[in-house]
Amino acid sequence: MLDDTQEAFEVPQRAPGKVLLDAVCNHLNLVEGDYFGLEFPDHKKITVWLDLLKPIVKQIRRPKHVVVKFVVKFFPPDHTQLQEELTRYLFALQVKQDLAQGRLTCNDTSAALLISHIVQSEIGDFDEALDREHLAKNKYIPQQDALEDKIVEFHHNHIGQTPAESDFQLLEIARRLEMYGIRLHPAKDREGTKINLAVANTGILVFQGFTKINAFNWAKVRKLSFKRKRFLIKLRPDANSSYQDTLEFLMASRDFCKSFWKICVEHHAFFRLFEEPKPKPKPVLFSRGSSFRFSGRTQKQVLDYVKEGGHKKVQFERKHSKIHSIRSLATQPTELNSEVPKQSPQSTSLRFGEGAESPGGQSCQQGKELNVSESGPRHSPTLKKSPSGDQQADGAVTAPAEEEEEAAKDRTQQSKRQPPQPGTGSLTGSPHLSELSVTSQGGAAPATVTLSPNLSPDTKQASPLISPLLSDQACPRTEDEEEGRRKRFPTDKAYFIAKEVATTERTYLKDLEVITSWFQSAVSKEDAMPETLKCLIFPNFEPLHKFHTNFLKEIEQRLALWEGRSNAHIRGDYQRIGDIMLKNIQGMKHLAAHLWQHSEALEALETGIKGSRRLEAACRDFELQKVCYLPLNTFLLRPLHRLMHYKQVLERLCKHHPPSHADFRDCRAALAEITEMVAQLHGTMIKMENFQKLHELKKDLIGIDNLAIPGREFIRLGSLGKLSGKGLQQRMFFLFNDVLLYTSRGLTASNQFKVHGQLPLYGMTIVESEDEWGVPHCLTLRGQRQSIVVAASSRSEMEKWVEDIQMAIDLAEKSSGPTPEFLASSPPDNKSPDEATTADQESEDDLSASRTSLERQTPHRGNTMVHVCWHRNTSVSMVDFSIAVENQLSGNLLRKFKNSNGWQKLWVVFTNFCLFFYKSHQDNHPLASLPLLGYSLTIPSESEDIHKDHVFKLHFKSHVYYFRADSEYTFERWMEVIRSATSSASRAHVLSHKESHAY
């Protein structure tokens, strides 16, 4: 697959085969090397794979005379599972080689289309004279001359396509071909008919010539074995099947039969198991049968490793491509900057020396040399060493991708530059941050910026926040200054509660400005909103903004007196907040009419968006601006949520103050007033939260038309594995009170999830089925029409889903009956887990087939809660969302990375399960964000050498962050609200906490 150039490796003769494969992968800087293998002819001229556990010397007896090929071994069902651009490039080379060798058979149109993408990758945009000259010199397929006109015609359609995009399109076409990744093994059936056997990710296939005549999915196969020349497949009993329990095929020899059996064992383990199988204990006296087992990471482990970002991305060039600027595939959500080190075009020769201790050691003169011929198209990665690894083609700013921006990496559409934005009426005008500032939730970003803020300086590179405001190197050390200020602060808990009111009020004012200033300016400029809708929204928000601006000033003035920062001669009279709270809450009662209008405004806005494409485009474009860091309709509910925050604060004050305290009476009176307001609006708030969530989810889904209908209530969304003939496929599930949807992530410019199937809840039953399927945390959901098997990532995740699905089933049973209205545009998927994968494959192909039209759709925020749950392999419920509404917090924190020395002072806003980072509270939009789902919250241990008070730690896999609060109270508050996002509360706890909340 690679070039026949030469490079020496020192590998000990007695080293296991894995050492040799690792040496090749390290030479190529290939992270996903587990998809590849080393193939060579054994002493009987049978082509076999190098066993990774056996010593090399026992497998390759005469290395000087053996050609070892580095080729693709495991072909995944979907090339989007290949995370690295280099991996996709090597797969493209394998397709190119298979075409040339006649292995990948297809019709003339498919062959011409495949070659046209190869030509685009190698010589760039269409030029007919250059095309014909290139095709005359390069033969990609036998009988190519007859296809030349078609190839040239197809190539004309690829103008502007980068080599990475060409690889992607090549694999997109190839994976649909019946012979993609197929290696035929001659055999005979019981009647003596000549057939061919093959193994794929789905199971064992039977071909007659090049036509597939049968398939035995892994879910149906109970046992694989061989006896001499006979290959045996034992099937699970099936009353509906005409097959015998055991199928028998005759192969040319025992060695040939054993070789194919080994390949089947490896494919089953790689695609079906969660982790590498453990070795069997050796028998004491004698053994029966083969001790062979699969060695290496399974596909799930490879995907998890790459998602964690524990590897260093490197840059590479294509040796024969005349296109020098290598850009990453714009439509790949997991790969914005693929890089691999460059190296001179040398070929690979592997040398086995007795004295060699490890790959890359010193050459031994007595060593035997083994040439690894990269037989196949002369088209290999040209590797060049890059010690820093931080350079990227096209002059882009780059940095290794961090976990907290996995969601942001999904943004595949290049957002246009943000237009000049109106003033916000903030207390002090803040200049806009650099264009290179990066936002997570909904913000636009320059196309050349890697959306991965908060990179730990472990790599000694500049922080990918880009702005020096947040880079560890440029940040002033603030410990001494903060310690001095901390000593001057009052120590009364009531002071810190009052301070929390001020800090959260600042954020609330900014959220109001998103509507009153930014959004109003945007729709007025585009003239996209009807006057009736304007009159319903903006006049009901502007009085609130004016009122809370004055409220904030009063609180800040009181805090200044409390801290002794004014000329007040008697501080004691001002060490309270209840009187200001009482006065302003009574003032809010006069604004109650505006609060009642907010639910009507939310409904009217969604109705207007549905009826006007112009308004829909204006709202969508506004959501892509940095200032709109949350879904737009969330801001319309902020005034209702803020009432609950006041109620919580006053409850804490009343609990803190003794009845004799001067502030107790005012606090208690204010609490009574706000409790009455919350009670009046509570029913509306619950209804509107569900309404807002349904419309937010609707933007993330394609394939449905009527998600937000009266009576439908959202319950839970999250990532689960769905068991099919192809193994566990990651799917996004959406649970409502009447139906369970499952979807896959669409690889489109709109970044939405494609609906694959829907299961009505009426009549559904849940069965735990780990023993039946051998998959951890596994459930069978049996509906009236169909059944599916799903697996959660952990026992706790499974229990959450069981609890919520069972509750939804009970609600459906108590209702008037099954809902007649299915979700439109989504025909139900009636497959059972035992069925062949044909139907499932069709749905995947349908998703890919519509890709061209979907790409023309408008850009969409690719970092919503749905995407965060997808990347973190977790779930979140409506109960969690309701708790999150109550657990919002703002304030200054000091942040420290894992291996940095200094602390950075940031303004931090916690909302919507996410930390948003600002330079100061005056900034109009966040610089970066950290979604917290899946993170753990702990206290640093002694070994972490922090030695500071009020420090908490956030960590997810290899990502670690430390934060310092300014007091014991604020430390406990941050711990409390973050814990609400990092660990879901039980339903019993929530329902006791919010008695009136029910689905």
Q: Per residue in 596-643, pLDDT tens?
A: 888 888 899 999 998 898 999 999 899 989 999 999 989 999 999 999
The verdict on 577 and 675 lying in the same domain is: yes
pLDDT beyond 60 at 458: no
**631 and 600 part of one domain:** yes
Averaged pLDDT of the chain: 76
Does the pLDDT value for residue 706 go beyond 90? no
The pLDDT of residue 182 is above 90? yes
Indicate if 84 and 133 belong to the same structural domain. Answer: yes
pLDDT at 821 over 80: no
pLDDT at res. 600: 87
Structure tokens, 70: 């580095």
With 0-12 / 13-18 / 19 or more C-beta atoms within 10 angstroms meaning exposed / middle / buried, residue 189 is middle
pLDDT at 471: 39
Q: Closest Cα to residue 581, out of 557, 603, 551, 606?
A: 551
The verdict on residue 770 lying in a domain is: yes
pLDDT confidence band for 98 (50 / 70 / 90): very high
| 220 HSE (CA, 13 A, CB side) | 25
What CATH number has the domain bearing residue 48? 1.20.80.10
Residues 157 and 212 in one domain: no
Higher-pLDDT residue of 453, 563: 563
The answer, yes or no, to whether residue 489 has pLDDT greater than 80, is no
For the residues 366-377, what does the mean pLDDT come to? 37
pLDDT of residue 331: 39
Instruction: Note the pLDDT of residue 413.
Output: 37
N- to C-terminal Cα distance for the chain?
A: 57
On whether the CB atoms of residues 875 and 797 are closer than 8 A, the answer is yes
β-pair partners for 953: 938, 962
Confidence of residue 56 (pLDDT cuts 50, 70, 90): confident
In-domain check, residue 861: no
Whether the CB-CB separation of 37 and 21 falls below 8 Å is answered with yes
Q: What is the mean pLDDT of residues 650-666?
A: 92
Q: Is residue 189 part of a domain?
A: yes
pLDDT, position 241: 57
In this prediction, residue 598 carries a pLDDT of 81
Which of 69-78, 115-124, 443-452, 968-977 shows the lowest mean pLDDT across its residues? 443-452
Among 699, 723, 751, the domain-final residue is 699
Inter-axis angle of helices 578-589 and 531-562, nearest 10: 170
User: Is 402 a member of any domain?
Assistant: no
Q: How far is Cα 299 from Cα 487, in angstroms, rounded to an integer? A: 55
3: confidence class by pLDDT, cuts 50, 70, 90: very low
Instruction: Give residue-wise pLDDT tens across range 206-226.
Output: 999 888 999 998 888 888 999
Whether 524 and 616 map to the same domain: the answer is: yes
User: Does 529 map to a domain?
Assistant: yes
Residues 535 and 684 in one domain: yes
Q: Which of 141, 175, 209 is the last residue of a domain?
A: 175
Looking at residue 838, its pLDDT comes to 33
pLDDT at 426: 33
Q: What average pLDDT score do residues 291-315 get?
A: 77
**Ranges 191-205, 360-374, 848-862, 914-928: which has the least confidence:** 360-374
Contacts of 481 (CB under 8 A, 6+ apart): none
Indicate if 544 and 683 belong to the same structural domain: yes
Residue 153 counted as domain residue: yes
Residue 845 within any structural domain of the chain: no
Least confident of 94-103, 109-118, 188-197, 812-821: 812-821
pLDDT of 755 > 60? The answer is: yes
Evaluate if residue 90 carries a pLDDT over 90: yes
Average pLDDT over residues 951-961: 91
Chain center to CA of 613: 30
Structure tokens at 330: 């714009």
What would the mean pLDDT of 774-797 be, rounded to a whole number? Answer: 88
How many domains are there within the chain? 5
Gyration radius of the chain's alpha carbons? 31
Q: Quick one: 669 and 713 in the same domain?
A: no
pLDDT-derived band of residue 421, with 50, 70 and 90 as boundaries?
very low
In whole angstroms, what is the distance from residue 36 CA to residue 49 CA? 10
How confident is the model at residue 898, as a pLDDT? 83
For residue 596 the two structure tokens come to: 């009642």
Each residue's pLDDT tens digit, 676-689: 999 988 888 899 99
Residues 667, 772 within the same domain: no
Residues 271 and 158 occupy one common structural domain: no
Answer yes or no: do 121 and 171 share one domain.
yes
C-alpha distances (whole Å) from 278 to each of 55, 292, 612, 804, 810 are 19, 11, 60, 35, 42
CATH code, domain with 659: 1.20.900.10
The confidence score (pLDDT) of residue 907 equals 95
Regarding predicted confidence, which is higher, 372 or 975? 975
Q: Do 535 and 520 touch, CB atoms closer than 8 A?
A: no
- Give the separation between CA 661 and CA 656, rounded to whole angstroms: 10
Residues 357-378 have a mean pLDDT of 35
Q: Residue 290 above 80 pLDDT?
A: no
φ/ψ bin of 759: left (φ > 0), alpha (ψ from -120 to 50), beta (otherwise): beta
Confidence of residue 822 (pLDDT cuts 50, 70, 90): low
Does 85 score more than 80 pLDDT?
Answer: yes
pLDDT band at 857 (very low <50, low <70, confident <90, very high): very low
Residues of the domain holding 136: 17-175
pLDDT band at 477 (very low <50, low <70, confident <90, very high): very low
**pLDDT-based confidence at 951, cuts 50/70/90?**
very high
From 142, 175, 208, the end of a domain falls on 175
Residue 913 has pLDDT above 50, yes or no: yes
What percent of the chain clears pLDDT 70, i.e. is strictly above it? Answer: 71
For the stretch 105-122, pLDDT in tens is 999 999 999 999 999 999
Higher pLDDT, 582 or 239: 582
Residue 382, domain member (yes or no): no
> What's the CATH code of the domain at 266?
2.30.29.30
Q: Are residues 644 and 734 in the same domain?
A: no
What region does 489 belong to: left with phi over 0, alpha with psi -120 to 50, or beta? beta
pLDDT at residue 859 tops 60? no
The whole-number average pLDDT for the span 391-420 is 36
Tell whether the model's pLDDT for residue 479 goes beyond 90.
no
